[in-house]
């Protein structure tokens, strides 16, 4: 008898498997790609408002779309909340998300409505954040250099080896930066600019948020990042200032999408509509995140970088959100900049 013990021990746990398939009435599985506290807040508040039982799984937007893709044959999530817009657009393009036109759509800012229309109503903006510079104010003062306020400033010899940006192969943030430069300067001039800036860049990090963290810890003086991330670091006590370039800058649209084949479709739609209301969008600021909410009625937190103070370009999400265009631009960056010696 003893000879079976090993066999039983090794495989027995299968018997205890209890595949969870939340088909019971009144539940919702949310994949959440914003910061942890914000995720918890929306889960609790939605539960309070509707009585629907929410279970929330928090992951970065890249990881979430990878998961949705892997689960496509048998989806486990119902709705995907937050995270930068490009992966949401990619999911729409790959037919991983469903069309849904929320009745609350007309209450949104024009940029959010346009993005929804561009994606064929497969995704909708819930907040936006502008691209800009993160600056370590202590290092700038110590080196006695003027903090950058325009794209052109980053080419100054003062910043030799002081700039960090992410690698567009891995980071959506870096791709937004390149697409922005292409839209601000024209494609050839934009790449020319990136080539000139290369001597000032100390590293193209793999992760999009890493440059801002490096600024916070004083590992680099300037980063090209989303400015609201800088506000978060500053509130955490680091000497971080932000600026947006005077020539104009692009922005990301944090989005929400309905996952194709959602098991709790009704609740997912309810959540979708709710996420576009001021009551839900207020929670971002409560969780110390300072993007600009997409509903016109949502009060903009005072700490948030104001869109009115920036020169925003008319970012063409339809064109630059496409997989083919992204592949082309990243490919060009790879051969012209990524392969350059340090």
Partner 1 sequence: MSRATPTRAVAAWALIGLAGFVLLPWYAQQEGVLAFDWIGGLWSHADSASGLALIAAHNRWWLAPLLPVLLASLAVGFVGGTRRQRGTTLVWLAGIGLAIFWLQALSIGLRGWNAEWLTLTLGEVGGRQVGIGIGATLVLLSLLGLLSLGLAQRGAFGGDAFVAGAMVTVVASIVLFTAWPVLRILLQAFNSSDGTFAPALLLDRLSTAKIWSLRCLTGDGRCGVAWNTLFLALCCGAGTTMLGLAFALIVTRTGFRMKRTLRVLTVLPIITPPFVIGLGLILVFGRSGVVNQALDAWFGIAPTRWIYGFQGVFLAQLFAFTPVAFLVLIGVVEGVSPTLEEASQTLRADRWDTFRTVSLPLMKPGLANAFLVGFIESIADFGNPIVLGGDYGVLSTEIYFAVVGAQLDYGRAAALALLLLAFALGAFFLQRRLVGTRSYATISGKGDSGLPTPMPAGLRRLAQWIALPWAGFTALLYGFVLVGGFVKIWGRDHTPTLQHYAKAFAVESGPNGLIWTGAAWGSFWTTVKLAAIAAPLTALLGLLAAWLLVRQRFVGRSTLEFATMLSFAVPGTVIGVAYVFTFNVPPLEITGTALILVLCFVFRNMPVGVRAGMASMSQIDRSLDEASATLRGRAWQTLAHVVLPLMRPAMVAALVYGFVRAVTTVSAVVFLVTAEYELATTFIVLRVINGDYGLAIAYSCALILLMLAAILLIQLLVGQRRLGRRAAPAPIAARAGA
Site for partner 1 in 212-231 (CB under 8 A): 213, 216-220
- Residues within window 137-166 making contact with partner 1, judged by CB under 8 A: 161
User: What is the contact mask toward partner 1 in residues 174 to 203, using x (rule: CB under 8 A)?
Assistant: xx--------------------------xx
Nearer CB in complex with partner 1: 61/294: 61
Q: Does 170 bind partner 1 (CB under 8 A)?
A: yes
Q: Does 263 bind partner 1 (CB under 8 A)?
A: no
Nearer CB in complex with partner 1: 75/147: 75
> At closest approach, how far in Å is the CB of 104 from partner 1?
26
Residue 197: phi and psi, rounded to 5, are -70, -25
Q: Among 107, 137, 169, 277, which residue sits at the site for partner 1 (rule: CB under 8 A)?
A: 169
Q: Among 2, 144, 146, 157, which residue sits at the site for partner 1 (rule: CB under 8 A)?
A: 2
Q: Residue 222 in contact with residue 243, Cβ under 8 Å? A: no
| β partners of residue 252 | 129
Q: Residue 128 in contact with residue 113, Cβ under 8 Å? A: no
Q: Does 115 bind partner 1 (CB under 8 A)?
A: no
Q: Which stretch binds partner 1 (CB under 8 A): 8-16, 124-132, 180-188, 305-313?
A: 8-16
Q: Does 302 bind partner 1 (CB under 8 A)?
A: no
Q: Does 19 bind partner 1 (CB under 8 A)?
A: yes
Q: Does 25 bind partner 1 (CB under 8 A)?
A: no
């Amino acid at each position: 008898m003893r000879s079976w013990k090993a066999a039983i021990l090794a495989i027995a746990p299968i018997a205890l498997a209890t595949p969870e398939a939340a088909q019971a009435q009144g539940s919702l599985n949310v994949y959440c790609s914003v910061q942890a506290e914000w995720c918890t807040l929306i889960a609790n508040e939605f539960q309070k408002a509707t009585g629907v039982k929410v279970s929330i799984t928090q992951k970065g937007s890249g990881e979430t779309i990878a998961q949705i893709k892997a689960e496509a044959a048998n989806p486990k999530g119902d709705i995907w909340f937050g995270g930068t817009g490009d992966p949401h657009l990619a999911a729409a393009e790959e037919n991983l998300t469903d069309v849904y036109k929320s009745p609350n759509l007309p209450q949104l800012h024009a940029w959010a409505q346009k993005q929804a229309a561009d994606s064929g109503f497969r995704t909708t903006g819930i907040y936006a954040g502008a691209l800009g510079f993160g600056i370590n104010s202590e290092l700038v003062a110590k080196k006695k250099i003027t903090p950058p306020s325009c794209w052109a400033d980053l080419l100054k010899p003062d910043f030799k080896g002081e700039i960090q940006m992410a690698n567009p192969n891995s980071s959506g943030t870096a791709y937004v930066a390149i697409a922005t430069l292409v839209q601000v300067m024209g494609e050839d001039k934009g790449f020319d600019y990136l080539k000139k800036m290369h001597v000032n860049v100390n590293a193209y990090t793999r992760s999009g948020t890493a440059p801002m963290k490096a600024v916070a810890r004083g590992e680099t003086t300037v980063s090209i990042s989303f400015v609201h991330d800088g506000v978060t670091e500053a509130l955490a006590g680091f000497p971080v200032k932000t600026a947006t370039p005077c020539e104009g800058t692009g922005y990301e649209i944090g989005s929400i999408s309905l996952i194709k084949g959602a098991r709790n479709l009704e609740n997912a739609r309810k959540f979708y509509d709710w996420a576009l209301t001021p009551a839900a969008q207020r929670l971002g600021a409560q969780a110390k995140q300072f993007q600009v909410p997409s509903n016109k009625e949502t009060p903009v937190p005072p700490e948030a970088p104001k869109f009115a103070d920036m020169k925003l370009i008319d970012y063409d999400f339809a064109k630059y959100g496409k997989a083919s265009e992204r592949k082309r631009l990243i490919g060009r960056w790879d051969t012209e900049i990524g392969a350059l010696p340090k």
